[in-house]
Amino acid sequence: DAMVIQNPRYQVTQFGKPVTLSCSQTLNHNVMYWYQQKSSQAPKLLFHYYDKDFNNEADTPDNFQSRRPNTSFCFLDIRSPGLGDAAMYLCATSRETPGTSGNNEQFFGPGTRLTVL
Amino acid sequence: DQQVKQNSPSLSVQEGRISILNCDYTNSMFDYFLWYKKYPAEGPTFLISISSIKDKNEDGRFTVFLNKSAKHLSLHIVPSQPGDSAVYFCAASANTGNQFYFGTGTSLTVIP
């Protein structure tokens, strides 16, 4: 089945220790997104890639970086995790970006729960 | 500032009855709306959408209603089933934008 896969499902890191979360897709979608979701809050978009074009949200901290080496994979790098970065990180894909009629439904992975000690 | 709001964090409904989940938005440029359903330990899955050119879209037991003048949409589930118990997120986008804005979710419990 075509899907969005996130590894690991649970990640524990220490304060200040770099961590990388990964996402892969078999849908061959153009767009890949990273969201941060904290408890009882809405998913918050960090950034997205349209193919190789990177789009950073204005309020995404510099501590968060992303790489998309090919269509299938996208990585979220947190350079120096703080206690406030503990959250669920959701990867999503879509054929086109919102604002394009049709084909812009997002498909989500199961998320990675990040704990910062 | 939260542009999409789901003011009811939780809702309980008896099996077989109607579930009504509500969503309000503030940005008049939003023209496309979606509902996602999320089970524990899974990512959100797309449920149903509606474009601003419509005021109703129906898919089986699920119907979404859009009231543009009130900037309000609702999801109706009839009849509700225990398997519908999940968190439901409302999301919206504008044709000039490149992201969806999500609400905080409503946790629905359908009681057998």
Q: What is the pLDDT of residues B43-72, one digit of tens each?
A: 999 999 999 999 999 999 999 999 999 999
What is the percent of chain B with per-residue pLDDT over 70, rounded to a whole number? 100
pLDDT tens sequence across B74-90: 999 999 999 999 999 99
Whole-number Å distance between alpha carbons of A117 and A26: 33
Which residues of chain B make contact with A99, given a CB cutoff of 8 A? 32, 93-98
Q: How far is A82 from chain B (nearest CA, A)?
A: 23
- B14-47 in b/e form (b: 16+ CB < 10 A) is eeeeebbbbbbbeeeebbbbbbbbbeeeebbeeb
pLDDT tens sequence across A63-88: 999 999 999 999 999 999 999 999 99
Structure tokens belonging to residue B64:
């979404």
* Residue pairs spanning A and B at CB distance below 8 A: 64
> What is the pLDDT, as a whole number, of residue A103?
54
Which residues of chain A make contact with B102, given a CB cutoff of 8 A? 42-43
Which residues of chain B make contact with A109, given a CB cutoff of 8 A? 43
Contact A101 B95 (CB under 8 A): yes
Provide DSSP, B92-111: EEETT-S--EE---EEEEEE
Contact A104 B44 (CB under 8 A): no
Residue of chain A whose Cα is closest to the Cα of B34: A105
Contact B32 A98 (CB under 8 A): yes
Give the HSE-up count for residue A34: Cα atoms under 13 Å, Cβ half-sphere: 28
Backbone region of residue A102 per phi and psi (left: phi > 0; alpha: psi in -120 to 50; beta: other values): left
Q: What is the mean pLDDT of chain B?
A: 94
> What is the pLDDT, as a whole number, of residue A40?
85
Instruction: Name A81's Cβ contacts closer than 8 Å, sequence gap at least 6.
Output: A13, A14, A15, A16, A17, A18, A19, A63, A114, A116
Structure tokens belonging to residue A43:
């998913």
Contact B43 A110 (CB under 8 A): yes
Contact B100 A106 (CB under 8 A): yes
Residue of chain A whose Cα is closest to the Cα of B30: A99
> Is there a cis peptide before residue A61, judged by omega within 30 degrees of 0?
no
Q: What is the mean pLDDT of chain A?
A: 92
Which residues of chain B make contact with A108, given a CB cutoff of 8 A? 36, 43-45
